Amino acid sequence: MVQPIERDGSMTVRVRYPPSPTGAQHIGNVRTAILNWLFAKKMGGRFILRLEDTDRDPSRYRPDVIPDILSNLRFLGIEPDEDWEKGGPVGPYIQSERLPLYQKAAEELIESGKAYRCYCTPERIAALRAGQQQRGEPTGYDRRCRYLTSPEMDKLSAQPFVVRLAVPLEGQTLYHDEVHGDISVENNALDDQVLLKSNGWPTYHLANVVDDHSMSITHVIRGEDWLPSTPKHVLLYQAFGWETPKWVHAPLILGTDHKKLSKRHGDTEFAEYIRRGYLPEALMNFLALLGWSPGEDQELYSVGDLIDRFSLEGITPHPAIFDANKLLWMNGEYIRKSSPTRIVDLSIPYLQEASLIKTEEDIELAERVVPLVTDRMKTLEEVAPLTDFFFGDMPKYDSKAVEKWLKSSDDGVTLAKILPRLEGIAADQFTVNLIEAAVRSGIEELGVPSPQVIHPLRVALTGRTVGPGLFETMAAMGKEKVLYRLKAIIAKEH
């Protein structure tokens, strides 16, 4: 076992993030990982990843999601100090590889009378609960096997059994939570929790306590849904005679309707946000602020800022609401802060996905075009609909736009007037400045307000009424394509 005590006498912080492979990681899981990681970084401690795969019910066990756990964290720039791939001093880091430890621990507890074998069948337990519910009584095991005599036990010894914790019948269990303060519960309200299942595998309660202790975890930072079962864990530590870690229960994440975050709230799967083109720094920033606050009026924080400011005191006691709209805004902020070349690089896969990029030339076009639309991008995914008109010979024409700016005969005349001026510019001189000068002089000659020329031109070239500045658009498009499209539209007018 590693020693959490440093030579200078201070405690080395060791925190853990223990995902369970029962489904794709969601926002809440990752938020908990971030909180743990920030705390480790802040304290110069260690961030440990541990796989809690003790639930082998085929309907829940999903080994296929295991690789994503690591890759999702890495996407955010989180690299565990110890995990099941790189190992570490207190491995293995996969609970299914630690089974003997839990069995030994359970045995120890039975020896000392802190736990007992229970031979009750699942059927009896179910019937018991049903009756309790019907009568409006609190549900829970009736402790029948806790008081078995030796002869009775001998008779049952060949039967399958679970191991249950012998919760004290009286008194109360008190513990201190770093965000909620002192919490106490009456022991008589606690059930004799199953520690070891009849298949010999541990439940969360046992495995988590045994591992946190043997891995020298100093702070248990987890979601508030664990608050009610913490007394059972405290009792377990006491039964083993071990010192408890510090308890830190972070608030739950709810949807904007204040209900627990679920599929109903749209996407809650973390990887979905990666796919949709959210930047790691935006996700890190936003998720860190979900249930934690630096206590000041600022929203945008770099990872370094977050680490600098992180403290357990900043974890809020009330639920955190997941506001997808605010995430969207924040992502837009980070896109605009990024260098154009980075956004171009990140955008190319989305453009390929949308079948807009097919050739080397298309990539060059993308390099010119993407920087023109970063101001209106909130996610990388939006790059395709924002730039699609640049690609291919002709854009798709929006009927309303055409109706408004290309229908009157004046518009055709206008375009015809501008065309030769553009043709007069050399292909390698087709720059924003020269294009603007050419178009402006055409406008002057026509003697009409500039919008009456600019709008038809834009619709003719892009098929729509909104987009980047017209001259930038034309320069990026290139002389050849501009003339091709203009001529095509003029020909159609006649």
Side chain identity at 210, as an amino acid letter?
A: V
State the minimum distance, in angstroms, from the CB of residue 459 to RNA: 10
Which residue, 132 or 352, is less far from RNA as judged by CB? 132
Which residue, 313 or 361, is less far from RNA as judged by CB? 313
Which residue, 88 or 468, is less far from RNA as judged by CB? 468
CA dist 180 and 176 (Å) reads 8
State the minimum distance, in angstroms, from the CB of residue 7 to RNA: 32
Partners of residue 38 on adjacent β-strands: none
CA dist 379 and 282 (Å) reads 10
State the minimum distance, in angstroms, from the CB of residue 66 to RNA: 13
C-alpha dist (Å) from residue 446 to 31, 84, 361, 410, 493: 60, 73, 36, 11, 19
Do 390 and 365 touch, CB atoms closer than 8 A? yes
Tokens of 455: 């709008």
487 noted as active-site residue: no
Bond from prior residue into 228 cis (ω within 30 degrees of 0): no
**Buried residues in 349-365 as b, exposed as e (16+ CB within 10 A):** ebbeeeebbeeeebeeb
Do 82 and 48 touch, CB atoms closer than 8 A? yes
Strand bridging mode 14-17 / 181-186 = unpaired
CA dist 288 and 301 (Å) reads 9
H/E stretch holding 308: helix 303-309
Task: Please state, as a whole number, how many other Cβ atoms lie within 10 Å of the Cβ of residue 313.
Answer: 10
Helical ranges in 117-178 per DSSP H: 122-134, 150-156
Do 218 and 12 touch, CB atoms closer than 8 A? yes
Phi, psi dihedrals of residue 222, rounded to the nearest 5°: -145, 175
What residue has token string 């001093």?
89
Give the burial class of 187: count Cβ atoms within 10 A of its Cβ; 0-12 exposed, 13-18 middle, 19 or more buried: middle
> Mapping DSSP to helix (H, G, I), strand (E, B) and coil, where does residue 174 land?
strand
Task: Please state, as a whole number, how many other Cβ atoms lie within 10 Å of the Cβ of residue 296.
Answer: 8
Which residue, 280 or 319, is less far from RNA as judged by CB? 319
DSSP 330-365: HHHHHHHHS-HHHHHHHHHHHHHHTT---SHHHHHH
State the minimum distance, in angstroms, from the CB of residue 63 to RNA: 14
Which residue, 62 or 487, is less far from RNA as judged by CB? 62
Which residue, 199 or 359, is less far from RNA as judged by CB? 199
State the minimum distance, in angstroms, from the CB of residue 248 to RNA: 13
C-alpha dist (Å) from residue 480 to 62, 267, 422: 54, 43, 10
Which residue, 472 or 493, is less far from RNA as judged by CB? 472
Which residue, 355 or 450, is less far from RNA as judged by CB? 450
CA dist 95 and 332 (Å) reads 40
State the minimum distance, in angstroms, from the CB of residue 33 to RNA: 13
Which residue, 267 or 323, is less far from RNA as judged by CB? 323
State the minimum distance, in angstroms, from the CB of residue 191 to RNA: 6
State the minimum distance, in angstroms, from the CB of residue 454 to RNA: 4
State the minimum distance, in angstroms, from the CB of residue 470 to RNA: 4
Tokens of 231: 């007394």
Which one from 86, 114, 259, 263 is the annotated catalytic residue?
263
Q: Which residues are catalytic?
A: 263
